[in-house]
């Protein structure tokens, strides 16, 4: 059996040898018959099992190679930015769930952080730890989801069942935490909605012991799989300069060897108190991005464990700024003042100062940012979402040129694209 | 001066010093482009510099190429509609430097009658899709953009630009013209 490193180049050699090369000036010099060639336009999608939503790509093909790819987006456009201008700051939190609907917690987190920056609120210590733990759980879920679907797109179906089996444990954990598996809305401006119960902590600790061996189990299916290696190594290569110029972020950027992680550079929430490393790739291909995501799952386990150990046992989970933050639910039902406060905050909102902020957060896909312009009053004047999926699609044409038509599926898979976030 | 009578000396000094102490990046832009610089605001730790539309591309080129600035990463492109202002639209670019670890928000204003700015796609490749989105949502055109088409709305969408403030939240009735929707109506 040949060494794995050579597999990709051999595959290419075989394909090249089947291309008929005829010199147009001297067609008679070739023994082959003169073939009529023309470029082919192919619509891929919008309904296609591997587009992770509703995405259409117009491919210009020469044989089976992609010459140019034009993404056509917007099938899931719901005008979330326009809706944001019509509601109060608190009312927008459930809308953020529907952006990246497989990883709602991180969207809540990014949005709440942005509003907290606008309102200049400091979150209590225990709440910071809770937020970090849940965000990292969400990162594990996101990477499991990515790994399962990407392997499924390539044809390795078993990994999908294994990752979804473990994802289910965490989704049930979310269910116990906030009553929802996907559209969670657990984060609040200034804190979180409710605290961990002892049972939740216990279950999470049990999961942390259970999970690391399972990561190795996923990897066993892939790292010696010839098909996986041939279809990920050397596919969708993007250089570090191009990746930065395109504004890629998250594993897609770090796969090209750029060490840029907002958890380190902005040091928000409880991340500065945890020790973790940021895996960085070398080649900028799909395989490196896969490797980074697998490593990040290991790092997330480390972060969660450190947070659980360092977290103060008692303490408030919501900042005490009555003009902005919501009162605790038990007080709302028993105390008239709290009920009035809750009603006012949801019907009129709080009075935000005039100004504008941008706040980016490292979601598992990349930098999820919110640019909020406030003109005073209870509603955002303008809210712009910097969605990593949308920006990654900008590099799709660049990254897919020269690859095979079957690679198109794996190239937008490698961004971990979710169209709900891309089209907003 | 009358001010000297009103303000005692130390107060006058601090007042004056706060005016000239701008962010070093803003100072540098003002020094390089004295005619194009409008204002700089620092709020909640974010630096926002407003420049004139004509110098926008030069300032961006300076931010991109100067080794001290080195803004190699484009974060987002956005736009804000201020219908009551004379120059109605505000185009917002946000840049970050991965090596220098600083960020800047570069803004410019355009009037409604001539809402066009020079595209920055030649400096940052990622500006392509982001500018298309601004065009789609707010109707600001980008000169020299390679492929300025709608990106999220359909190509044949003719109701205007949805994120403008004079666009109603429920749309302008285009949906009612869909035949398949009318068929189900009683």
Q: Report pLDDT for B13.
A: 47
Q: In this model, does residue B20 exceed pLDDT 80? A: no
* Tokens read off for A46: 């919008």
Mean pLDDT of the region B39-47: 86
pLDDT tens-digit readout, A44-103: 878 776 667 788 888 888 888 888 888 888 888 888 998 898 888 988 999 998 888 888
Residue A70 lies in a domain: no
Mean pLDDT of the region A110-124: 91
Mean pLDDT of the region B86-91: 89
Average pLDDT score over chain B: 83
Q: In this model, does residue A6 exceed pLDDT 60? A: no
Within 8 A of B81 by CB-CB distance, chain A residues are: 382
For the ranges A12-21, A138-147, B31-40, the lowest mean pLDDT is seen at A12-21
Q: Report pLDDT for B6.
A: 55
Q: Report pLDDT for B95.
A: 92
Shortest Cα–Cα distance, B172 to chain A (Å): 14
Q: In this model, does residue B1 exceed pLDDT 80? A: no
Q: Report pLDDT for A14.
A: 43
Residues of A near B (Cβ–Cβ under 8 Å) read 73-74, 77, 79, 81-83, 86, 117-118, 120, 242, 244-248, 258, 260, 265, 355-358, 360, 367, 369, 371, 373, 381-382, 384, 386, 390-391, 393-395, 398, 423-424
For the ranges A135-149, A269-283, B20-34, the lowest mean pLDDT is seen at B20-34
Average pLDDT score over chain A: 85
Residues of B near A (Cβ–Cβ under 8 Å) read 43-44, 46, 48, 72-76, 78, 80-81, 92, 94, 98, 101, 103, 105, 124-126, 128-130, 133, 137, 150-154, 162-163, 167, 169
Report the residue of chain A nearest B152, measured CA to CA: A74
Q: Count structural domains, chain A.
A: 1
pLDDT band at A143 (very low <50, low <70, confident <90, very high): very high
CB contact under 8 A, A73 and B152: yes
Mean pLDDT of the region A287-291: 90
pLDDT tens-digit readout, A379-403: 899 999 999 999 999 899 888 888 8
Residue A259 lies in a domain: yes
Work out the angle at residue B136's Cα, subtended by the Cα atoms of residues B74 and B138, and round it to the nearest 5 degrees: 85
Mean pLDDT of the region B85-89: 87
ipTM, 2 decimals? Answer: 0.83
Residue A20 lies in a domain: no
Instruction: Return the SS3 of B142.
Output: strand
Q: Report pLDDT for A103.
A: 86
Q: In this model, does residue A277 exceed pLDDT 50? A: yes
- pLDDT > 90 fraction of chain B, expressed in percent and rounded: 22
Shortest Cα–Cα distance, A100 to chain B (Å): 17
Which residue range forms the structural domain that includes residue A86? 80-423
Q: Report pLDDT for A13.
A: 44
CB contact under 8 A, A390 and B75: no
Domain residue ranges of chain B, discontinuous segments joined by + = 24-184
Q: In this model, does residue B14 exceed pLDDT 70? A: no
CB contact under 8 A, A358 and B76: yes
Q: Report pLDDT for A134.
A: 92
Q: Report pLDDT for A223.
A: 84
Residue A66 lies in a domain: no
pLDDT tens-digit readout, A324-378: 888 888 888 888 888 888 888 888 888 888 889 999 999 888 899 999 999 888 8
Residue A96 lies in a domain: yes
Within 8 A of B129 by CB-CB distance, chain A residues are: 390-391, 393-394
Residue A28 lies in a domain: no
Q: In this model, does residue B185 exceed pLDDT 90? A: no
pLDDT tens-digit readout, B151-175: 888 888 878 888 888 888 887 877 7
* Domain B24-184 bears CATH identifier 3.30.460.80: yes
Query: What is the interface size between A and B, counted as CB pairs within 8 Å?
Result: 94
Q: What is the CATH number of the domain that holds A176?
A: 1.10.645.10
Q: Report pLDDT for A133.
A: 93
What CA–CA distances, in Å, run from A48 to A29, A57, A373? 44, 10, 38
pLDDT band at A21 (very low <50, low <70, confident <90, very high): low
Q: In this model, does residue A111 exceed pLDDT 90? A: yes
Q: In this model, does residue A151 exceed pLDDT 70? A: yes
């Amino acid at each position: 059996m040949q060494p794995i490193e050579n597999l990709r180049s051999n595959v290419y050699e075989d394909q090249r040898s089947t291309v008929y090369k005829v010199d147009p000036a001297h067609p008679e010099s070739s023994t082959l018959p003169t073939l009529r060639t023309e470029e082919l336009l192919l619509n891929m999608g919008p309904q296609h099992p591997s587009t992770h939503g509703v995405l259409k790509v117009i491919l210009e093909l020469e044989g089976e190679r992609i010459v140019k790819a034009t993404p056509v987006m917007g099938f899931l456009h719901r005008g979330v930015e326009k809706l944001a201008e019509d509601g109060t700051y608190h009312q927008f939190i459930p809308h953020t769930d529907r952006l990246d609907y497989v990883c709602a917690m991180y969207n809540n987190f990014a949005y709440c952080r942005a509003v907290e920056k606008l309102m200049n609120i400091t979150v209590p210590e225990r709440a910071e730890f809770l937020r970090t733990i849940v965000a990292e759980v969400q990162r594990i879920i996101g990477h499991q989801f990515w790994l399962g679907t990407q392997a499924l797109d390539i044809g390795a179906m078993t990994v999908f069942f294994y990752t979804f089996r473990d994802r289910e444990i965490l989704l049930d954990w979310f269910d116990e935490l906030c009553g929802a598996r996907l559209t969670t809305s657990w984060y609040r401006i200034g804190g979180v909605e409710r605290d961990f119960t002892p049972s939740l902590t216990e279950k999470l600790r049990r999961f942390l012991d259970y999970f690391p061996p399972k990561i190795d189990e996923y990897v066993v299916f892939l790292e010696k799989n010839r098909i996986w290696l041939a279809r990920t190594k050397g596919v969708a290569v993007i250089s570090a300069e191009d990746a930065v110029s395109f504004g890629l972020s998250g594993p897609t950027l770090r796969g090209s060897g750029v060490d840029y992680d907002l958890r380190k550079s902005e040091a928000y929430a409880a991340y500065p108190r945890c020790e973790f490393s940021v895996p960085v790739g070398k080649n900028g291909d799909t395989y490196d991005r896969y490797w980074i995501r697998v490593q990040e799952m290991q790092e997330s386990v480390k972060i969660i464990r450190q947070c659980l150990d360092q977290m103060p046992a008692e303490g408030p989970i919501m900042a005490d700024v009555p003009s902005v933050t919501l009162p605790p639910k038990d007080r709302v039902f028993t105390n008239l003042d709290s009920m009035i406060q809750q009603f006012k905050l949801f019907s009129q909102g709080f009075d935000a100062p005039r100004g504008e902020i941008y706040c980016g957060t490292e979601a598992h896909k990349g930098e999820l940012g919110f640019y909020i312009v406030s003109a005073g009053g209870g509603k955002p004047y303008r809210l712009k979402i910097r969605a990593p999926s949308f920006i990654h699609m900008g590099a799709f044409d660049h990254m897919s040129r020269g690859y095979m038509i079957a690679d198109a599926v794996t190239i937008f898979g490698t961004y971990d694209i979710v169209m709900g976030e891309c089209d907003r | 001066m009358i001010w000297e009578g009103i303000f005692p000396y130390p107060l006058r000094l601090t007042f004056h010093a706060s005016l000239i102490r701008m962010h070093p990046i803003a100072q540098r832009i003002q020094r390089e482009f004295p005619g194009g610089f409008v204002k700089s605001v620092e709020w909640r730790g974010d630096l926002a510099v407003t420049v004139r539309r004509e110098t926008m591309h030069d300032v961006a080129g300076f931010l991109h190429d100067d080794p001290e600035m080195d803004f190699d990463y484009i974060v987002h492109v956005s736009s804000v509609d201020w219908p009551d202002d004379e120059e109605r639209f505000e185009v917002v670019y946000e840049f970050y430097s991965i090596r220098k670890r600083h960020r800047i928000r570069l803004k410019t204003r355009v009037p409604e009658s001539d809402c066009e700015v020079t595209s920055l796609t030649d400096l940052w490749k990622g500006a392509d899709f982001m500018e298309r989105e601004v065009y789609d949502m707010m109707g600001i055109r980008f000169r020299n953009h390679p492929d300025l088409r709608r990106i999220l709305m359909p190509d044949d969408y003719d109701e205007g630009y949805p994120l403008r403030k004079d666009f109603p939240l429920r749309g302008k009735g285009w949906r009612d013209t869909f035949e398949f929707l009318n068929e189900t109506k009683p």
